[in-house]
Each structure stands twice: as C-alpha cells, then as structure tokens.
C-alpha cells in the first residue's frame, strides 16, 4: 500500500505498481472466477479478467439477450459460458454482477452453491447493506468482498483497452480464509483498476446512490435541462442553447477538469468567465446543499433502497422505464443533441 495525501487527509491506496498483475494472477491462480450476470458491469469485468490472464467463466440465463451478447463477445457455451447454476457450481470466486433486483430474485439459487472455501464478490454494496429489505443473509463460511469500479461498464472496458484503467473501491465484509483482502485486490487489478481505495459495503452504496442521483446523473441532467429551457424561453436558438449548455461542457470544459482540475480549467478560461463563475458558484452551492442533504438522508434511511426494490421488481417495470427514457429522449434539448453530434467534424 502507498500513503497518499488528499487535501489535508492521508489515505492508504493500492496501485498496480505496488500490487502487480503478476502478483494478482498468483493470488487467484487456483480460482475459477465466475462472473454472474452479463448486463452492465459483467461484460467489461469478465473480458478484462480474461484478457489479463485469469481463469474466467460467465454465468447467464440461456436464451436471454445477454446470453446472445456473451456469445458475440466470444464466450463459448459449455466451455466458458454456462447457466447461472452451472457457473455457480464450477466457480470458486463468484462475482455477483446481476442487477440489484436480479440479485434478490436468484439469491436462493446462488446461496446453495456458496460452499466452504468459496468467495462471494460484489461490485455494489446494495444487497448486503440493505439485507433486511433484500433478504440476502450471508453464509458465515465464505469470504465476502467488494470491488467497485468507479465508472460504467463501458468505461471500465474502454479505459482497460486504452491501458489506462479506472479507479475502484474495495471492501471486506467477511474474511474466513484470512486472505480475503488480497483476493479482492487481485480481482481489482485484474479488471484494470487504476488504483484501489478502501471502503465498506455501507459507505460504497451510500456514496454510489448519492452520486447517481446527484452530480453524476440526476443533478447533471436536471441542471442542463433547466439552463437550456431558460435560454430557449429568452429567444436563443436550439443550437445556441445546446452548445452553451451541453456541447461546451462535455467537449471542452470537463476534459480540462479531468486533465488538471477545476482551478486549472478556470485559469484557462476568459477573465469574464472566471469572474462570473466565481461569483455564482456560492449561490449554486447554497441552493443545492439542502437538496444533497435530503438525498443523503433518504439513502441512509433505506428509503431509496425500498423504492428501487419495489420499482425494479414490478413486472411492468421495463415497459415503464422504456417509456420514461423515451420521454427524456424526446425533450428538445436531447433531440438537438442528436443533431449537433452529427454535425461534429469527422476525425
């Protein structure tokens, strides 16, 4: 581990330089890693592990769209692609990457294959943290760990192929073997993590649910739509409103923040932009802090979890979700976005 200073605090983090890929392979050399689920995180983690030289199989419901996708990605039925039950039987290191609702639904099946000596790995703390609502009581004779890449499955795979990696958190809920932490770190290195930082199942899910509902998705989309609508109401063209709201954000400013930080991005903008941003930042912060406090309270109380479980388990949820996403796509701002992307210069 390496001690790194983050602001005024110091953290112990694990880098690929300290915990090498060869060490990760050695740690998991006797394990059959069974990636259960091939939806959002499953493809990226399974393919990254396979490309990194680990013994990986995929468990998925045969005949499903995800089964077909796994075959397109090169997984072979009967060789390294199996039903969930068969993968659970063959695997010694089970990576539970189904959706939260899916994990609840098939838990009785998975649990019976968690024999002594196996490891159960999650990429989300939801099921374990909210176990009173999910009903997922962990058997006490297996290691239980978490490795949570801080990005979508697409980003995890894309950055791996670019040899960049994406940061991940890790946690140990149960250490029966005495080697659970080493196994979690090895798995994290195998999926291509840039560096790994320690957390708990509870902290992971609290921060994750807050982030998704907040800055990463909910707040971002809400603020974008609000600014776009105000510009349009004041006579600005769709192209102007979109470019000043979304295109410049995603194509110019966010990459600068990612490269060297927010202060660096500010220092590389016009003096007029700098002054206005510095003046208005406190007003936006003051307006949104109460919203974030309310959001975090909702996450910590289990209210958000209860809603997710109820909604995602409903038989008509997929149909209603598709309708909601269609409605989002039909809003003018995102229709304009599709047109603008087509007008970008070809590289």
Catalytic residue list:
124
Please state, in angstroms and rounded to a whole number, the distance separating the CA atoms of residues 299 and 310: 15
Q: Are 128 and 143 in contact (CB under 8 A)?
A: no
| Strand ordering across the sheet containing 81-82 | 2-6, 9-15, 193-198, 166-174, 143-149, 119-122, 93-96, 33-36, 56-59, 81-82
Q: Which of 79, 74, 39 is nearest to 55 (CA)?
A: 79
Q: Alpha helices, DSSP H only, in the chain?
A: 21-27, 42-51, 65-72, 84-90, 100-111, 126-129, 131-134, 153-161, 180-190, 201-213, 218-233, 238-242, 248, 254-260, 262-267, 271-301, 303-313, 317-330, 332-343
Q: Which residues pair with 168 in a beta bridge?
A: 149, 196
Residue 196 burial (CB count, 10 A): 25
Q: CB under 8 Å to 59, separation ≥6 — which residues?
A: 34, 35, 36, 37, 82, 83, 84, 85, 86, 87, 88, 91
Provide the token pair at 266.
């500010």
């Amino acid at each position: 581990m390496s001690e790194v200073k983050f602001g005024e605090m110091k953290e112990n983090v694990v880098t690929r330089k300290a915990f090498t890929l060869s060490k990760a392979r050695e740690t998991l050399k006797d394990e059959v890693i069974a990636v259960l689920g091939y939806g959002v995180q499953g493809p990226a983690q399974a393919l990254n592990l396979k490309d990194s030289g680990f013994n990986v199989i995929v468990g998925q419901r045969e005949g499903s769209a995800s089964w077909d996708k796994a075959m397109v990605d090169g997984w072979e039925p009967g060789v390294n692609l199996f039903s969930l039950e068969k993968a659970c039987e063959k695997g010694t290191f089970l990576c539970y990457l189904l959706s939260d609702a899916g994990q609840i639904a098939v838990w009785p099946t998975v649990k019976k294959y968690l024999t002594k000596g196996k490891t159960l790995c999650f990429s989300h703390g939801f099921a374990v943290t909210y176990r009173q609502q999910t009903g997922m009581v962990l058997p006490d004779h297996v290691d239980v760990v978490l490795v949570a890449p801080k990005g979508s499955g697409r980003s995890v795979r894309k950055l791996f192929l670019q040899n960049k990696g994406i940061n991940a958190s890790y946690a140990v809920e149960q250490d029966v073997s005495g080697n659970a932490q080493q196994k979690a770190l090895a798995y994290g290195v195998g999926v291509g993590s840039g560096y790994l930082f320690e957390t708990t199942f509870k902290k992971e899910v609290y921060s994750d649910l807050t982030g998704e509902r907040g800055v990463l998705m909910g707040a971002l989309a809400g603020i974008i739509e609000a600014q776009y609508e105000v510009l349009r109401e004041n006579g600005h063209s769709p192209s102007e409103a979109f470019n000043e709201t979304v295109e410049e954000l995603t194509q110019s400013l966010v990459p600068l923040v990612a490269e060297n930080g927010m202060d660096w991005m500010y220092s590389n903008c016009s003096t007029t932009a700098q002054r206005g941003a510095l003046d208005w930042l406190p007003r936006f912060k003051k307006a949104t802090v109460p919203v974030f406090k309310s959001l975090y309270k909702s996450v910590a109380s289990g209210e958000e979890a209860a809603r997710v479980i109820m909604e995602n388990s409903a038989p008509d949820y997929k149909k209603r979700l598709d309708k909601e996403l269609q409605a989002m796509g039909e809003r003018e701002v995102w229709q304009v976005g599709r047109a603008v992307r087509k007008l970008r210069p070809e590289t």
